[in-house]
Amino acid sequence: MSFVLTINGRDHPVDASPETPLLYVLRDDLRLNGAKFGCGLGQCGACTVQVDGKAAYACLLPVAAAAGRRIRTVEGLGTAEAPSPLQKAFMVEQAAQCGYCIAGMIMRAQALLDATPRPTEAEIRAHMQPNLCRCGTHMRILRAIRRAAGLPVEAASA
Amino acid sequence: MSLGWKTPAPPAAALALALAACTGGARLPPPPPQTFSAAEIEKGAELAKLADCQGCHTADGGQAFAGGRPLKSPFGTIYTRNITPDPSTGLGRYSREAFVRALRRGVRFDGAELYPAMPYDHFAYADDADLGALYAYLMTRRPKDRPPTPNELIPPANIRGAVAIWKALFFHPGRFQPTPGQSAEFNRGAYLVQSLGHCGACHTPHNILDAEETKKPLQGGVQEGWYAPPLNALSPASVPWTPERVYRFLRTGFDRDHSAAAGPMGSVVRELARAPEPDVRALSVYLATLMQPASAAKGRAAPADHAAQAAAAQPAGAALYAGACAACHDAGAAMMREGRPPLQFATPPQEDRPTDVIQVILQGVQPATGPRGPYMPAFAGTLSDGQVAAIAAYVRARYSDRPPWKDLTSAVAKGRRQGGQG
Amino acid sequence: MSVGAPSRRDALAGGALVVAFSMTGHARAQEARGPQKTVPPALPGSLKTTPWLDAWIRVDVTGQITVFTGKAELGQGIKTALIQIAAEELDVPPQSLRLITADTGQTPNEGFTAGSHSMQDSGTAILNAAANVRMILGQAAARRLGVAADLLATTGEGRFKAPDGRLAGYGELAAGLSLHVEAQPNAPLRSRQGGKLMGQDYPRVDIPAKVTGGQAYVQDLRLPGMLHARVVRGPSFGTELTGPDFAAAQAMPGVVAVARNGRFAAVIAEREWTAVQALQRLQQAAWRRTAPPLPEGRPEAGLSGASQDQVIFDKPGGAGGAKTVKARYSRPWLMHAAVGPSCAVALLRNGQMTVWTHSQGVYPLRGALAQLLRMPPDKVRCIHVEGSGCYGHNGADDVAADAALAALAVPGRPVRMQWMREQEHGWEPLGCVQVGEAEASLDASGRIAHFRYEVWSHSHNGRPMTAGGLVAGAEVDPPFPPQVPRPIPMPEGGGDRNAIPIYAVPAGRVVSHFVRDAPLRASALRSLGAHLNIFAIECFMDELAKAAGADPVAFRLAHLDDPRARDVVSRCAEAFGWAARRPSDGRRGAGFAFARYKNLASYCAVALEVEVEHETGAVKVGRVTAAVDAGEAVNPNGLQNQIEGGIVQALSWAGLEAVGFDAAHRTSFDWSAYPIARFKDVPRSVAVQVIDRPGLPFLGAGEASQGPASAALANAVADACGARIRDLPLSPERVKGAIGV
């Protein structure tokens, strides 16, 4: 079946069976690398994108349910040459080890900052809870989010 | 069903009691912690688990028993109170007598009314000794100075005095009566269900003024947007509940012939997992006995799985299910070979109303007893009302033999509001 | 992969691919370097095994410099550090360098990227190779410009400058030279004269792509005509599906082939989602256990089997102190559990198999694959491309074999094979269960008089050296015999890594028990046996300090002679504010631990504070402070990142993790059955002090904080509430059980 996906402000016609999770369409049809396969079960957040402004697991969002909605991926924030403020904060904080989780982290954090520009420490941690990092980069990810939000980079008490 | 259920006291007597309570009472200073015996504290710790005091009296991320958790009701939001022994904001202001009175009669230390969000209509059935032990346990916790969060209630519920009228109408506690001829274990279970366990607070239908319909005990109720299914002959479970299965469910939040505890049941299980085994066994025996007629009626019919018919009847829902749900819930999924039950074994698709199927899709499931255990992601942020409705319709068609649910899309919208997923 | 190119966006699909295809047709001179040569040990690092300069550094006529390393980027920042080293010694801008990492077609054979060896081996080799190249180019420049070499200066842009201002570029100089010469051991090091780049927090070269959706991982590789595959297996290692319906899968639209060889099977499809669905269809089959039943009950049950015992430390005398303390510690089976399941791309074309892999050892993998595929090794090429988190021997090699076997079925078409989440959890090799038993006596002055330690462990080294070390090796027909696990000898050790106390003990004995037969699949997990041994010994040091009535830090210092060790301990304690810390109040407490990884690599101390929730036993970690001495710190921020990440990961191991299993299989099949730390679980803050030692050898640091962090946690819990928990993990149930009502 044909669908039109609105991704990062542009319409993309795609041809896929309606149940196909958005993740595979993004990666394989549209050649976008940001969203990653981590579990396919909505447990790790490596595939996180924004749908109508909210953080969503692309691995569990059928393309039929994604059509007609505003989809945003990490590629829509900025580029290596012109990164968005949040991407820039991740670079400044050197907030990656293997980095496999990072695009999903950025997209989930961006959804928080869009809704709550100056979140508390507890709000940041609660919001980021769905996304896993195995390298233990959490402290730097938190610093990057605080930096992008204009908060003191070191942790306040949660 | 009246197995061991309450024997109401005459309304007039209750009214008199309630009015008497309003006149206040002696504000005795609480005893110092060292006056409680270790055995009493330990007993109180066990009872606090059976009553899931923590579940309501602990805010997300807050200190245990320091209160502040929002409880939604038809009349707005009530924030639970600090029940640590803090002298200015917690139980430090309660003497033992005042504490027992609060649990029995719903009266605050200063004589003001307590909202019935506090299930004193159940605690009234508890033994004095049990309430005393609970007091000993709570008074030996670490005090936390945490002033109350103001409630957000609509008139007239925002006037505490109105509770007196509510009590006069609905609050007529009696004493617990054991059922003759039943085992001690059964009667222990009955006692716990009716008193500290306060199962009816969720599982009994509530009337328009949010009082339990005591004539329909444990026939299923709505709490915080979730439907707590009937725990008696009306149980819709597709596989009969046995004492062993109930025990497993209460202890772990999961039974492979049923499903996982979700919503408010999660915190109940978290506590029951650490409660004394004989008590949880007693609860299981009692509840399985209540549900036995439903199980007998069900016989040995295989749970439904009408995949082809459901796909034909609900093609949109089938496609969404295949992309959003099948990775866990369809044959061949990892979860399916790891003992997590296929959906025809779960109770929600069998229920008369779609409430739980909707809420579980919107809110997901968090493991009940710790980080490990059945989990489901929340779809509230990703699926529209219509999409959730389509999946719910497909699930009903595929996994039950019952008639389709009606007005699903508006039920999803309502579920979103009630579950705080607006 | 090229580094520092103007745009990285298409580096993978463009750069690597072009290189790859150009490599398959004709061999370069460097590729045919021949067998490794043994040279005098004077050469440092990996120059010992690969002494030729052009194996490490090449300069083309335009002056473009390419640096080669046999080590792989695992997210530890090795690429950045190596670029810093090479740029420093060559005195060129770091962004002008190209760096080629582990590729059997191009780079030296440096074995595995493991054991915190990359800086020691490859960093040291490139440091000295670059110094050699600069020396040789300088000599050539001296000849060309007619000036004495010591009057020439480098300009920082790849040229030499004479005192009169005349210039000679590296490219033109290299054109007249051969770098196919052996390195000299003592080429002067520019970095020793106060370099600019080493020691700086040079930004990681791989991060911009990773935060903007650039192509960064083998998972992102998209080759023309590429197919997608999934491997068909039972739920976990030691099981198989019984009669999966291959015909049904083959009949699904979009399925190209079902590749089968013996019990091995992979489904190959045009689209990835089709492959996933076909796999789920096949997994509807029942499964059975193919290996002996697993020992249910206590996780360490398997350790009671026959063992090879070795005394690894023996210092007689000293028995019979005033006070004796004895304790037993354990850790359960642990998982690597990378967030991204293992992945590889394989292509069979013109009789040549090329495999893009995130294996930690491209050369050993090539050997194992050649056996498995029954192809000559020179017809197999393994190219490292980054994967998701690598903390040891995970599924990377196995999935490379799966991809290659699948590619055999569709010659000419690249096959991208990725494991599913449950396959990674179920089939990856694990870090094994271990038990450590310590006993010591204290003399009248409260010093250790005698120290005995014994450790029981399975293997920590199941890395594939042969086809039998790959999952698929046991599935193909005929199957390859499984590799026989062997202990890793001291001084590095495997299960007994760090089993010898670093502390000054007048007498003692340490015995290592190697239990060869493991019920589950065991191999290398970050820090190997050092994790349990450091956990045990560092917890035990606290128990001894308590028995001696001494402060834990003071007790350690009283038994430490090595000034660098003392420095790390003191600096960590000072930064934490150990002396002025709040006394424990039954709820809050602080813990300390220290180790020198392998007793020969980095020194690391960790201090942390915890709060124990009495009602539930939940442990919350607050402030964490660490100090590390890794020798000369090439990139302090990168070093901090490694230590910090190791601490957070180790706290997850120590606080939460244990692989579950029943008689038939692993039951930890996904994140709900094997939870790891999430944001609410991680510490409030982690601060790492780097003690830089300019001019001293690089010491590996990637695994240095695992043991100390785990022990510091247990020590802090004991300090907070008196509950000494000796079995990992320190789960809320265990803590609650220990503290009571």
| 8-67 in chain A: CB under 8 A from chain C | 16-17, 20-21, 24, 27-28, 31-34, 36-41, 43-44, 46
The CA distance from A44 to the nearest CA of chain B, in Å, is 10
As a whole number of angstroms, the distance between CA A73 and CA A7 comes to 7
pLDDT at residue B224 greater than cutoff 70: yes
Residue B5 located in a structural domain? no
Query: Omega before C491 cis (within 30°)?
Result: yes
| 679-708 in chain C: CB under 8 A from chain A | 679-680, 682-686
Q: Answer with the one of B298, B320, B344 that is the final residue of a domain.
A: B298
Give me the half-sphere count of Cα atoms (radius 13 Å) on the Cβ side of residue A88. Answer: 10
A63 & A104 share domain: no
The CA distance from C719 to the nearest CA of chain B, in Å, is 18
Average pLDDT over residues C5-21: 33
Residue A158 located in a structural domain? no
Nearest to B45 among C281, C732, C741 (CB): C741
A68 & A37 share domain: yes
Residue A64 domain boundaries:
2-76
pLDDT at residue C20 greater than cutoff 60: no
C680: contact with B, CB 8 A cutoff: yes
SS3 C539: helix
B41 & B160 share domain: yes
pLDDT at residue C8 greater than cutoff 50: no
Task: Record the tokens describing residue B295, joined without a space.
Answer: 């199980």
Nearest to B64 among C420, C616, C670 (CB): C616
A64 & A103 share domain: no
Query: Going by C-beta distance under 8 Å and a sequence separation of 6 or more, which residues neighbour residue B151?
Result: B76, B77, B78, B79, B115, B158
Residue A153 located in a structural domain? no
Chains that touch B (3 or more CB pairs under 8 A): A, C
Q: At what angle do helices C396-408 and C362-373 cross, to 10 degrees?
A: 40
B191 & B228 share domain: yes
As a whole number of angstroms, the distance between CA A110 and CA C504 comes to 52
What is the DSSP track for C11-70? IIIIIIHHHHHHHHHS--GGGG--S-----TTS-GGGGT--BGGGTEEE-TT--EEEE-S
A23 & A65 share domain: yes
pLDDT recorded at residue C225: 97
User: Residue C303 corresponds to which amino acid?
Assistant: L
A64 & A92 share domain: no
Nearest to B142 among C587, C667, C672 (CB): C587
CB B84 within 8 A of CB B91: yes
As a whole number of angstroms, the distance between CA C339 and CA C428 comes to 13
B114 & B222 share domain: no
Query: Going by C-beta distance under 8 Å and a sequence separation of 6 or more, which residues neighbour residue A39?
Result: A46, A59, C421, C670, C671
Query: pLDDT band for position B25 (50/70/90)?
Result: very low
B27 & B133 share domain: yes
As a whole number of angstroms, the distance between CA C657 and CA B370 comes to 12
The residues facing A50 across adjacent strands are A55, A72
Query: pLDDT band for position B300 (50/70/90)?
Result: low
As a whole number of angstroms, the distance between CA C531 and CA B152 comes to 52
A107 & A144 share domain: yes
* Short-list B399, B101, B57, CA closest to B236: B399
pLDDT recorded at residue C321: 74
Task: Record the tokens describing residue C152, joined without a space.
Answer: 């020439």
Nearest CA in chain C to A98: C75
pLDDT recorded at residue B331: 94
Biggest CA pair distance of chain C: 86
B96 & B134 share domain: yes
CB A45 within 8 A of CB C338: no
* Short-list C75, C83, C653, CA closest to C389: C75
pLDDT recorded at residue C615: 84
B250 & B134 share domain: no
pLDDT recorded at residue C673: 96
pLDDT 10s digits, B35-81: 899 999 999 999 999 999 999 999 988 899 999 999 988 889 999 99
**Interface contacts B/C by beta carbons within 8 Å:** 63
Listed in order, strand segments (DSSP E) in B120-223 are: 152-153, 221-223
* Short-list C488, C496, C490, CA closest to C530: C496
Residue B178 located in a structural domain? no
pLDDT at residue C101 greater than cutoff 80: yes
Residues from B contacting A (CB-CB < 8 Å) are: 60-61, 316, 319-324, 326-328, 335, 364, 375-377, 379, 381-384, 387
Residue B4 located in a structural domain? no
Average the pLDDT over each of C161-170, C299-308, C711-720 and give the range with the smallest value: C299-308
CATH number at residue A33: 3.10.20.30
Count of CB atoms within 10 A of residue B208's CB? 6
SS3 C555: helix
C204: contact with A, CB 8 A cutoff: yes
Count of CB atoms within 10 A of residue A37's CB? 27
C267: contact with B, CB 8 A cutoff: no
A80: contact with C, CB 8 A cutoff: yes
pLDDT 10s digits, C179-209: 999 999 989 998 888 768 999 999 999 999 9
As a whole number of angstroms, the distance between CA C518 and CA C727 comes to 20
Average pLDDT over residues C669-681: 97
Best of C201, C212, C335, C635 to mutate (most A CBs within 10 Å, chain A): C212
| 173-202 in chain C: CB under 8 A from chain A | 201
Count of CB atoms within 10 A of residue A10's CB? 8
Average pLDDT for chain B = 90
Beta carbons of A139 and C686 less than 8 Å apart? yes
How many domains, in total, are found in chain B?
Answer: 3
Residues, chain A: 158
Residue B177 located in a structural domain? no
CATH number at residue A98: 1.10.150.120
pLDDT recorded at residue B23: 42
SS3 C588: strand
Average pLDDT for chain A = 97
Residue A157 located in a structural domain? no
B100 & B242 share domain: no
A70 & A9 share domain: yes
pLDDT 10s digits, C252-281: 999 999 999 999 999 999 999 999 999 999
B63 & B35 share domain: yes
Residue A139 located in a structural domain? yes
Q: Give this complex's ipTM.
A: 0.97
B37 & B159 share domain: yes
Query: pLDDT band for position C740 (50/70/90)?
Result: confident
pLDDT recorded at residue C328: 98
CB C659 within 8 A of CB C674: yes
Q: Answer with the one of A26, A56, A76 that is the final residue of a domain.
A: A76
pLDDT recorded at residue C347: 98
* CA distances in angstroms from C265 to B311, C50, C249, C285, C402, listed in the order given: 31, 39, 12, 14, 9
* CA distances in angstroms from C433 to C106, C206, C411, listed in the order given: 38, 35, 42
A3: contact with B, CB 8 A cutoff: no
pLDDT recorded at residue C34: 40
Residues of B in contact with A63 (CB under 8 A): 323
The CA distance from C637 to the nearest CA of chain B, in Å, is 32
Q: At residue C15, what are phi and psi to the nearest 5 degrees?
A: -55, -60
Query: What is the set of domains in chain C, with CATH numbers?
Result: 11-212 (3.30.365.10), 218-290+338-427 (3.30.365.10), 434-460+495-739 (3.30.365.10)
**Interface contacts A/C by beta carbons within 8 Å:** 196
Best of B40, B65, B321, B372 to mutate (most C CBs within 10 Å, chain C): B372
Residues of A in contact with C421 (CB under 8 A): 38-41, 43-44
A103 & A125 share domain: yes
* Short-list B219, B206, B313, CA closest to B5: B219
Beta carbons of C339 and A137 less than 8 Å apart? no
| 713-732 in chain C: CB under 8 A from chain B | 731-732
Q: Buried (b) or exposed (e) across B189-202, using 16+ Cβ within 10 A? A: bbbbbbbbbbbbbb
Average pLDDT for chain C = 93
pLDDT recorded at residue C741: 74
As a whole number of angstroms, the distance between CA C137 and CA C141 comes to 6
pLDDT > 90: percent of chain B: 79
CATH number at residue B239: 1.10.760
C235: contact with B, CB 8 A cutoff: yes
C240: contact with A, CB 8 A cutoff: no
Residue B311 located in a structural domain? yes
A134: contact with C, CB 8 A cutoff: yes
CB C84 within 8 A of CB C635: yes
A143: contact with C, CB 8 A cutoff: no
pLDDT recorded at residue B61: 83
A71: contact with C, CB 8 A cutoff: no
Q: Answer with the one of A50, A76, A102 that is the final residue of a domain.
A: A76
Residue B175 located in a structural domain? no
A53 & A108 share domain: no
User: Residue C305 corresponds to which amino acid?
Assistant: G
The CA distance from B377 to the nearest CA of chain A, in Å, is 6
Residue B18 domain boundaries:
11-170
A66 & A6 share domain: yes
Residues from B contacting C (CB-CB < 8 Å) are: 38, 41-42, 45, 54, 61, 63-65, 137, 141-142, 274, 326-327, 330-335, 337-338, 367, 370-375
A7 & A72 share domain: yes
Nearest to C284 among B65, B331, B375 (CB): B331
As a whole number of angstroms, the distance between CA C667 and CA C55 comes to 46
Average pLDDT over residues B127-150: 95
The CA distance from C419 to the nearest CA of chain B, in Å, is 13
A92: contact with B, CB 8 A cutoff: no
Residue B80 located in a structural domain? yes
Give me the half-sphere count of Cα atoms (radius 13 Å) on the Cβ side of residue C329. Answer: 33
B49 & B136 share domain: yes
pLDDT recorded at residue B421: 57
As a whole number of angstroms, the distance between CA C70 and CA C366 comes to 13
Task: Record the tokens describing residue A61, joined without a space.
Answer: 């969002």
Best of A41, A44, A70, A128 to mutate (most B CBs within 10 Å, chain B): A41
CB A90 within 8 A of CB A144: yes
B23 & B126 share domain: yes
* CA distances in angstroms from C325 to C179, C496, C544, listed in the order given: 61, 21, 7
pLDDT 10s digits, C214-255: 999 999 999 999 999 999 999 999 999 999 999 999 999 999
- For C350, counting Cβ atoms within 10 Å of its Cβ (0-12 exposed, 13-18 middle, 19+ buried), the class is exposed
C272: contact with B, CB 8 A cutoff: no
The alpha carbon torsion through A12, A15, A19, A24 (nearest 10 deg) reads -70
The residues facing C608 across adjacent strands are C591, C624
Residues of A in contact with C271 (CB under 8 A): 24, 28
Q: Answer with the one of A49, A76, A103 that is the final residue of a domain.
A: A76
Count of CB atoms within 10 A of residue C695's CB? 10
Average pLDDT over residues C411-416: 98
How many domains, in total, are found in chain A?
Answer: 2
* Short-list C650, C643, C453, C644, CA closest to C543: C453
B166 & B193 share domain: no
The residues facing C356 across adjacent strands are C345, C383
CATH number at residue B346: 1.10.760.10
A119: contact with C, CB 8 A cutoff: no
Query: pLDDT band for position C122 (50/70/90)?
Result: very high
A98 & A60 share domain: no
Residue B203 located in a structural domain? yes
Chains that touch C (3 or more CB pairs under 8 A): A, B
pLDDT recorded at residue C6: 34
Query: Omega before B148 cis (within 30°)?
Result: no
